């Protein structure tokens, strides 16, 4: 139940009803209950074999080299009849930096694989707190490097790779894009940041407003504490771990950023888009009225859920379509 007295934008009515239904079922997330949370394996959009079959998409699992040469699993999704080179989507899953797996998220992008003959690579980066910063973002970068280096055999055009992720995946995608810029490669033509988790500092107004919803201020602190430990909120945090801290966003690939008006990440996501524009980078921003964090996954059937998915698909078509 909300205890804050700060006024805040309400949830969309259709979404409010969904929240009522799920909120008392979401287990309490603290640093101690992370394992319990992981064991639930919550994936509102499961990528089953049936769904892949229905879409005519195949899945291959491979082991590649992650950060410092550690083994890392990736899955490669492509049309069964994919030939030649198509656009590449390097996908990073969400889960607050502490939960989730590489199959959480790609279902939303299945239509891009089908419609644009894209090849999607999704990485099983190591999670905090067992593997704190910089492991997650460096694993993600290693996976991107592998994707670019193996573009030919994956059937990917190395000049048409985008990076995409939601929530913590969006934050890691932004961080990886920064690494790719500063390390002079691989080349990215776009970054899709879906309600990205960008800022460890826990100071924005939207952070204060939302102690209710799917990803609350408390959850957010748990995620960032797990990733950064005592460094959270101090100057000792890199822009790759918390992209909101970057002051120079020039030279980054065109971005799509979306979020709900009723979520913790609203202000940092809007700020990131603003900073991109100020640096002369192309960016598209959508803030959905009354959206809670992850509403597109949990409530895709609602009017605002539909609208957010359509906007994402539209941007992807503009970037990936030929």
Q: How far is the CB of 73 from other proteins (least distance, A)?
A: 24
Going through the chain in order, the beta strands assigned E by DSSP cover 57-65, 71-79, 86-92, 119-123, 156-166, 190-194, 255-260, 283-288
Q: SS3 sequence, 24-62?
A: CCCCCCCHHHHHHHHHHCCCCCCCCHHHHHHHCEEEEEE
Minimum distance from residue 18 beta carbon to other proteins (Å): 8
CA distance 187 to 177: 9
Least Cβ distance, residue 259 to other proteins (angstroms): 20
Pick 90 or 292: Cβ nearer other proteins: 292
Q: Whose CA is closest to 76, among 111, 116, 118, 43?
A: 118
CA distance 208 to 14: 24
Of 211, 24, 192, the closest CA to residue 109 belongs to: 192
Tell the smallest beta-carbon distance from residue 234 to other proteins (Å): 36
Q: Report, in Å, the least distance between residue 41 CB and other proteins.
A: 9
Is 24 or 71 the residue whose CB approaches other proteins more closely?
24
- When the beta carbons of 11 and 146 are compared against other proteins, the nearer one is 11
18: helix, strand or coil: helix
Q: Can you say whether residue 104 is alpha, beta or left, with left for phi > 0 and alpha for psi between -120 and 50 degrees? A: beta
CB 270 within 8 A of CB 233: no
Separation of alpha carbons 257 and 196, rounded Å = 8
Name which of 205 and 303 has its Cβ closer to other proteins. 303
Q: Write the DSSP symbol of residue 239.
A: T
Smallest distance, other proteins to C-beta of residue 267, A: 25
Closest distance to other proteins from the beta carbon of 1 (Å): 5
Residues facing 75 on adjacent strands? 61, 122
Q: Which is nearer to other proteins, 99 or 207 (CB)?
A: 99
**184/301 with CB nearer other proteins:** 301
Cβ-based nearer residue to other proteins, 4 or 20: 20
Contacts with other proteins, residue ranges (CB under 8 A) = 1, 11, 13-14, 16-18, 20-22, 25-26, 40, 42, 44, 46, 300-303, 305-306
């Amino acid at each position: 139940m909300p205890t804050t007295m700060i006024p805040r934008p309400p949830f969309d009515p259709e979404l409010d009803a969904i929240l009522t239904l799920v909120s008392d079922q979401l287990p309490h997330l603290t640093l101690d209950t992370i394992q319990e949370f992981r064991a639930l394996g919550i994936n509102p959009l499961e990528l089953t074999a049936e769904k892949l079959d229905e879409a005519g998409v195949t899945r291959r699992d491979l082991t590649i080299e992650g950060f410092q040469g550690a083994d890392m699993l990736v899955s490669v999704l492509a049309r069964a009849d994919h030939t030649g080179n198509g656009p590449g989507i390097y996908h990073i899953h969400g889960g607050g930096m502490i939960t989730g797996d590489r199959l959480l998220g790609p279902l939303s992008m299945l239509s891009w694989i089908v419609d644009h003959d894209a090849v999607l690579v999704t990485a099983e980066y190591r999670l905090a707190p067992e593997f704190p910063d910089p492991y997650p973002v460096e694993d993600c970068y290693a996976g991107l490097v592998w994707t670019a280096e193996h573009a030919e055999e994956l059937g990917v055009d190395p000049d048409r790779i985008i990076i995409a992720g939601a929530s913590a995946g969006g934050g890691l995608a932004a961080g990886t894009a920064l690494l790719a810029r500063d390390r002079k490669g691989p080349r990215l033509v776009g970054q899709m940041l879906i309600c990205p988790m960008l800022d460890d500092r826990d100071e924005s107004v939207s952070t204060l407003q939302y102690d209710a919803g799917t990803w609350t201020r408390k959850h957010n602190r748990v995620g960032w504490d797990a990733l950064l430990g005592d460094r959270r909120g101090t100057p000792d945090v890199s822009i790759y771990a918390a992209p909101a801290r970057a002051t120079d966003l020039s030279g980054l690939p065109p971005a799509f950023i979306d979020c709900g008006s009723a979520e913790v990440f609203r202000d940092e996501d809007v700020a990131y888009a603003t900073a991109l524009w100020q640096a002369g980078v192309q960016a598209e921003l959508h803030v959905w009225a009354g959206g809670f964090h992850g509403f597109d996954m949990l409530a895709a059937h609602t009017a605002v859920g539909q609208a957010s998915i359509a906007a994402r698909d539209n941007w992807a078509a503009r970037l990936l379509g030929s």
